């Protein structure tokens, strides 16, 4: 199997970090999210919470400009490699965290029933999670990923166990039968651990980067773009994006 060796290395990595004395917690996600949610006074509804959390309202910041952070979302069809509904936390739960901001990493393994690139790309866009959980905000810029959690929500018992369950539920709700299995991993508090995880998962990261690079190159050819810089720093990004929207809409009409 193509990804079995790297997934085994990742699981071995988490076990080794635990044996070195780092805090490791494994939660079993609740397939019946409605029952799970009944224990909390925290709203979770698809695209219902499009809010801004300002600094004064922030109880905990994960990642950010001056902290190490990553988000890695890897869809694959080898369902036997995924421990469905599992939520693994390497680090500390929110109620025991004293410092903010905090180094933070999020890794999702998503089992899917298709290899269509267009569908796979949608799974890597996390904004719908940010828009669907009360008091939780995701912010992204190139090479940086961070989250803000409001003080009010933390007082209501928000935890990584809650976040993991909410992520699993929202993915299944949004993508339906495309999602066959999902496993969530969080890393916080240990900067060296984030670095080590990146090294261990480099094969997955490289594949995602290569897919994205190929997509950008194909897009540049399509619109006859001759610039060497990346799209994220291109001064014509907005104009290019508008053209792309028009082309996509035209393709949808033709189909």
Evaluate whether residue 217 is within a structural domain.
no
Query: Residue 241 is part of which domain span?
Result: 223-254
Phi and psi angles of residue 186, each rounded to the nearest 5 degrees, phi first: -120, 145
Residue 122 shares a structural domain with residue 161: yes
Contacts of 75 (CB under 8 A, 6+ apart): 110, 111, 112, 120, 123, 124
The pTM assigned to this predicted structure is 0.80
Q: Which of 72-76, 163-167, 194-198, 225-229 comes out lowest in average pLDDT? A: 225-229
Cβ atoms of residues 85 and 182 within 8 Å: yes
Q: Report pLDDT digits (tens) over 23-64.
A: 999 999 999 999 999 999 999 999 999 878 988 999 999 998
Evaluate whether residue 14 is within a structural domain.
yes
Cβ atoms of residues 39 and 166 within 8 Å: no
Q: Which of 39-43, 80-84, 222-226 comes out lowest in average pLDDT? A: 222-226
Question: Would you place residue 233 in the very low, low, confident or very high pLDDT band (cuts 50, 70, 90)?
Answer: very low
Q: Please say if the pLDDT value at position 249 is more than 70.
A: no
Residue 206 shares a structural domain with residue 233: no
Evaluate whether residue 215 is within a structural domain.
no
- Rounded CA-CA distance 150/53 in Å is 7
């Amino acid at each position: 199997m193509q990804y079995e060796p790297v997934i085994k290395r990742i699981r071995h990595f988490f076990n080794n970090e635990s044996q070195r004395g780092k805090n490791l917690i494994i939660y079993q996600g609740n397939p019946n999210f409605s029952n799970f949610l009944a224990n909390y006074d925290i709203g979770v509804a698809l695209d219902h919470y499009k809010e801004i959390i300002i600094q004064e309202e922030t109880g905990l910041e994960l990642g950010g400009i001056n902290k190490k952070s990553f988000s890695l979302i890897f869809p694959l069809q080898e369902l036997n490699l995924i421990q469905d509904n599992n939520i693994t936390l390497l680090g500390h739960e929110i109620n025991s965290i004293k410092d903010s901001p905090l180094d933070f990493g999020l890794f999702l393994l998503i089992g899917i029933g298709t290899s269509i690139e267009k569908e796979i790309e949608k799974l890597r866009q996390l904004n719908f999670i940010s828009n669907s959980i009360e008091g939780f905000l995701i912010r992204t810029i190139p090479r940086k990923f961070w989250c803000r959690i409001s003080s009010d929500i933390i007082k209501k018992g928000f935890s990584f166990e809650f976040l993991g369950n909410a992520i699993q539920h929202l993915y299944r709700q949004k993508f339906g039968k495309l999602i066959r299995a999902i496993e969530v991993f969080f890393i916080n508090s240990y900067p060296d651990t984030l670095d080590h995880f990146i090294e261990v998962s480099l094969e997955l990261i490289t594949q995602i980067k290569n897919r994205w690079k190929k997509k950008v190159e194909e897009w540049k050819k399509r619109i006859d773009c001759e610039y060497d810089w990346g799209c994220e720093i291109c001064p014509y990004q907005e104009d290019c994006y508008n053209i792309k929207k028009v082309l996509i809409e035209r393709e949808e009409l033709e189909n």
